Amino acid sequence: MPTAEQTAILDEAQLSAKRIFDSIATELLLVEEEFERQARSNIQVIAYIGDYLRRSGGKRVRPALTILSNHAVGGDGGNQSSIRMATVMEFLHTATLVHDDVIDKAETRRNRPSINSEFGNQTAVLMGDWLYMSAFETSLAERSLPILDILTAVTRRMTEGELLQLTLLGRTDISEEQYFDVIARKTAYLFSACCEIGSLLGKATPTQQPMMRDYGMNLGVAFQLIDDLLDFTSSQDILGKPAGADLIEGKVSLPLILLLQREPEMRAPIQTVISEGGYHTVSRQSLVDALERTGALALTQERAIEYAEAARAALEGLNGSIHTEALRAIPTYCIDRDR
């Protein structure tokens, strides 16, 4: 269970979220404008889907990280380069979501029909490719080899993560090491890249750049741990997609890994859900009850809190500012969010 200190940190989450986004509200509006500009095309279907994706929204956590990291090291997070690259990071994230939904055969995303269900798999795959290429084309305007190195590395790692996950689909013998390898590649490296690129654009010192990189990496792991936790504890209305969908898709996440360590006999019902592609014979609530009974959910949250605290610790020595304080607040926001 979380300590009293950790609980106090979680209680600050709502204030933290407001502080985070209020501090860069102007910059995030510029990101929305840049997203709309970059998504324009004289190909009608691309322009329409690009606008559909932009209006689908999201919390824009990755652009926020890019802008805040720039400000935190003394840069001007509202300049053209920062806004442009913050939008690039959102394009990369959106591309991964579009491709993931095709692979997972997902029908909804953020309470709206997914691109693949609305326009078909072929269009969705090509749109994801277009988003990737547009992101790299835009990033070339910076004429920065270090930034391109980071972008190519993170794109490769995200693709590797997706491929690794595919090899593990349907398996109930996944180790913690395998699980953390996948979520690092699929989620954490992009968070890390956002923070590192933001700091590079802000002229970070040789000491500050690795600090921001480590901050983003730890934050990304915490973020994904909470995502996997919410898949069991939240609802479709809140998540914007079916609750419990990960297991139906054959993905065994940390809560289930921890459950199987404590009650190996649960392997059969978990495998049944995967085999049937739904909670027909085995109810979702019965799995949630087992996760609560064994403490697997609580331990997953504790792991997430540990990574969140590691993220905050990575910022030690950074000059104090409203933007640095916002970065320190984001781990709390990630832990306590409801979707």
Q: Which of 250, 261, 253, 248 is nearest to 227 (CA)?
A: 253
What's the one-letter identity of residue 191? F
Tell me the H-state helices in 111-207. Answer: 115-119, 121-139, 145-168, 176-183, 189-201
- What length is written for the chain? 339
Full pLDDT tens readout for the chain, 339 residues: 445 554 544 444 455 666 778 889 999 999 999 999 988 888 888 888 888 888 887 778 999 999 999 999 999 988 999 999 999 999 999 999 999 889 888 888 777 888 999 899 999 999 999 999 999 999 999 999 999 999 999 999 999 999 999 999 999 999 999 999 999 999 999 999 999 999 999 999 999 999 999 999 999 999 999 999 999 988 766 666 677 889 999 999 999 999 999 999 999 999 999 999 999 999 999 999 999 999 999 999 999 999 999 999 999 988 888 999 999 999 988 888 765
Neighbours of 9 (CB within 10 A): 21
Spatial contact of 155 and 92, defined as CB atoms under 8 Å apart: yes
* Ordered DSSP codes for 296-338: HHHHHHHHHHHHHHHHHHHTTTSPP-HHHHHHHHHHHHHHH--
Residue 112, beta-bridge partner list: 109
What per-residue confidence (pLDDT) applies to 156? 96
Residue with tokens 């013998």: 173
Residues of the domain holding 225: 4-336
Burial class (CB in 10 A: 0-12, 13-18, 19+), 25: exposed
C-alpha distance from residue 86 to each of 74, 195, 196 (Å) = 17, 10, 12
Q: Which of 113, 122, 107 is nearest to 45 (CA)?
A: 122
Residue with tokens 């403490």: 295
What per-residue confidence (pLDDT) applies to 9? 45
CA dihedral defined by 271, 177, 258, 170, rounded to 10 degrees? -10
The span from the CA of 327 to the CA of 15, in Å, is 13
What per-residue confidence (pLDDT) applies to 186? 95
pTM beyond 0.95: the answer is: no
CATH number of domain containing 326 = 1.10.600.10
Tokens linked to 7: 């609980």
The span from the CA of 242 to the CA of 27, in Å, is 32
Q: How many domains does the chain have?
A: 1
Spatial contact of 212 and 196, defined as CB atoms under 8 Å apart: yes
The pair phi, psi for residue 306, each rounded to 5°, is -60, -45
Q: Which of 124, 284, 310 is nearest to 215 (CA)?
A: 310
What per-residue confidence (pLDDT) applies to 3? 53
The span from the CA of 20 to the CA of 81, in Å, is 21
Residue with tokens 């654009």: 201
The span from the CA of 77 to the CA of 97, in Å, is 26
What per-residue confidence (pLDDT) applies to 199? 96
What per-residue confidence (pLDDT) applies to 154? 97
